[in-house]
Chain A
Amino acid sequence: MIIASNVSKRFGKLKVLDDVSVTCGKGECIALIGPNGCGKTTLIKSILGMVIPDSGFITFNGKNISHDWQYRANIGYMPQTGRYPENMTIGQVLDMMKDIRGKSNEKPDEELVDRFELKDILHKRMRTLSGGTRQKVSASLSFLFNPDVLILDEPTAGLDPVASEILKEKIIAEKVKGKLVLITSHILSELDDLVTQVVFMQEGKLCFHKNIISLREETGEEKLSKAIAHIMLGKRTEK
């Protein structure tokens, strides 16, 4: 569905993405992991067209995304930190998004709005909300329009255990429906039961893109966090 070929990007002297090529297909749940500042968010932003790569190209459903904007109708994006205009209420933010993206023949998927109990606080202003509640709003917005691709940037950061459990259940349900889910996270233990593939990045380079089952077999570790640690330590001894 999404194919990135040889994508490179530099910000001044810093090479953020260095010849990254990834292929993401339907029904996959891909974890993008790597140390801080390794280019995960930049890769996501270039898929969304917010960052324009210096070289290389990205195709979405076979179409090149540069200078295109309509393809984003198929993407639900949850940003790392959601900040909204201060005086807007939750209800207004939801209504605005529905107005922008909603198709008249499809009912928006309000499961998360209901389960996060946002219905009771629709009148609250965005500036009065806590960080966790803002994350809930962002999560609900990204799932609202039944997109084919979900891109979640640190989705569980700041969410309480109950809410992150709800979100995880929703992600699994969408994965089963055959949607592509891209997740970045630093909490590897949370990804264990979600992901089917792992993309590991380091210093702007793509280190590996593997199926989680083969990763487990290779390292002999059941837990994802231990498997990744195993690989990182292995790399260090090679050097």
Chain B
Amino acid sequence: MKKIIKYVLIDILRNKIMLGYTLFLLLISVSIFNLEDNSAKGLLSLLNIILIIVPLVSLLFSTIYVYNSAEFLELLVSQPLKRRTIWLSLFADFRGAWLLRFLSALGSPSYYLKQRLPVL
């Protein structure tokens, strides 16, 4: 199980759309913090994005990814693996990848901001 997680995670992280999406999120969060003088307001606008865009994109991307790798999944099913293992490792992959993206794109600017403004 660990092995599937490792290799598929590398594949997902290298995906160009995912990279673009991370850059987009990073751009948005940095610009929001720079445009608003009140950082509490900035955080609120960021919250809107987190609540709407992030789940939507993760749902879409995961669906497309599973759909596209149908034949690869077929190959995995023909190996001595339980289906439960295959799906659980894919789930872990998506979870890991999205968490990593989220923290790097939205977490790091917020952390930077926190250091700049000790009030937060």
Known contacts A81-B71, A82-B71, A84-B72: does B10 contact A48 (CB below 8 Å)?
no
Is the C-beta of B14 less than 8 angstroms from some C-beta in chain A? yes
The one of A72, A86, A93 that contacts B78, using a Cβ cutoff of 8 Å: A72
Q: Are B14 and A50 in contact (CB under 8 A)?
A: no
Complex contacts, A50 vs chain B, CB 8 Å: 74, 77-78
Q: Are A99 and B3 in contact (CB under 8 A)?
A: yes
Complex contacts, B82 vs chain A, CB 8 Å: 69
Task: Give chain A interface residues in 75-107, CB to chain B under 8 Å.
Answer: 75, 77, 79, 81-88, 92-93, 95-97, 99-101
Q: Name the CB-closest residue of B to A87.
A: B14
The one of B8, B11, B78 that contacts A77, using a Cβ cutoff of 8 Å: B78
A71 to B80, CA, bound (A): 7
Q: Are A96 and B3 in contact (CB under 8 A)?
A: yes
Q: Are B11 and A87 in contact (CB under 8 A)?
A: yes
Is the C-beta of B75 less than 8 angstroms from some C-beta in chain A? yes
Q: Are B3 and A85 in contact (CB under 8 A)?
A: no
Is the C-beta of B15 less than 8 angstroms from some C-beta in chain A? yes
A69 to B85, CA, bound (A): 11
The one of A49, A75, A88, A141 that contacts B7, using a Cβ cutoff of 8 Å: A88
Is the C-beta of A214 less than 8 angstroms from some C-beta in chain B? no
Complex contacts, B7 vs chain A, CB 8 Å: 85, 88, 92-93, 95-96
